[in-house]
Structure 1
Amino acid sequence: MATPDMTDIDPTVAPSGAGCVECDADGSWWVHLRRCAQCGHVGCCDDSINKHATAHYRETGHTIIQSFEPGEDWFWNYEINRVVAGPVLAAPDCHPLSQTSPGPADRVPRDWQLMLQ
């Protein structure tokens, strides 16, 4: 497992919130959440319809994300397209356990699985 350049990770930065910043702003929903290891931006994963975590990488050049799902602590490097090692990041390390995946529950359409095909 590769170790990223630590200038791409700031372990002191807290996550931007409990959900995808852009989806929360426009009333959308997500499948899973990813956290930028450099600035803390929380965005939705590439399985989500909006793919905001990848869009954040493309807009900012911040190369490392970490899963923001409960029980997951893996990091991903967009630049080399692979899992990498990383440090413990500032708390919290995941969205609230009461928040569903996909979520948030009140915004997930009944046919959400069909929307992702």
Structure 2
Amino acid sequence: MTAGINPTVPPSGTGCVECDETGGWWVHLRRCAQCGHVGCCDSSPAQHASAHHRSTGHPVMQSFEPGEDWFWDFTTDAGFLADPLAPPTSHPEDQPVPGPAGRVPADWQDHVH
């Protein structure tokens, strides 16, 4: 098993854990390859995926977007490909991007990084 990747752990849900708890929204989603935590990307206002890495030290995340299978290693600042993680490997295809439906402000583009 590659360090920082546990392919048996399912994702924590279909959206960013912290944004769902606070009523926030996201641009894209990322999944921790070690514990399954789903957080929002660095383009999102709250950047919870990177915050998860900083708080836990978990080094690898994977895109949680439909059709994307790339991983990112925070320790090397490099992307790579690896075997798939436990399903589901993305949020539902009918979930809008940005999302979730009903929480994205009309001027969302003014709030991205």
Where structure 2 has 5 or more consecutive residues not aligned to the other structure, the ranges are none
**Greater helix share, structure number:** 1
Aligned to 1:96: 92
* TM-score of the superposed pair, with normalisation by structure 2: 0.96
Alignment partners' CA distance in 2, 1:30 and 1:54? 13
Provide the rounded CA distance (Å) in 2 between the counterparts of 1:38 and 1:31.
Answer: 22
Identical counterparts, % of pairs: 60
Divergent runs of 4+, >6 A: none
Q: How many residues align?
A: 113
**Pair 1:16 & 2:7 matched:** no
* Equivalent position SS for 1:114: helix
Name the residue aligned to 1:57.
Answer: 53
Alpha-carbon distance in 2 for matches of 1:19, 1:11: 19
CA contact (8 A) 2:16 2:29 kept: yes
- List per-residue Cα deviations over 1:53-75 (Å, max 9, x = no partner): 00000000000000000000000
Say if 2:69 and 2:81, in contact at 8 Å, map to a contact too: no
Which of 62, 65, 73 is equivalent to 2:69? 73
Residue 114 of structure 1 corresponds to which residue in structure 2? 110
- Between the aligned partners of 2:102 and 2:36, the Cα distance in structure 1 is 25
Q: CA deviation at 1:8?
A: 0.9
For structure 1, the 5+ residue unaligned runs are none
- 2:78 alignment counterpart: 82
CA–CA separation in structure 1 for the residues paired with 2:80 and 2:44: 22
CA distance in 2, matches of 1:75, 1:35: 9
Q: After superposing the two structures, state which structure 1 stretch, 79-88 or 107-116, moved more.
A: 79-88
- SS of match in other structure, 1:6: coil
Separation in structure 2 between the aligned mates of residue 77 and residue 47 of structure 1, nearest angstrom: 17
Q: Which amino acid aligns with 2:87?
A: A
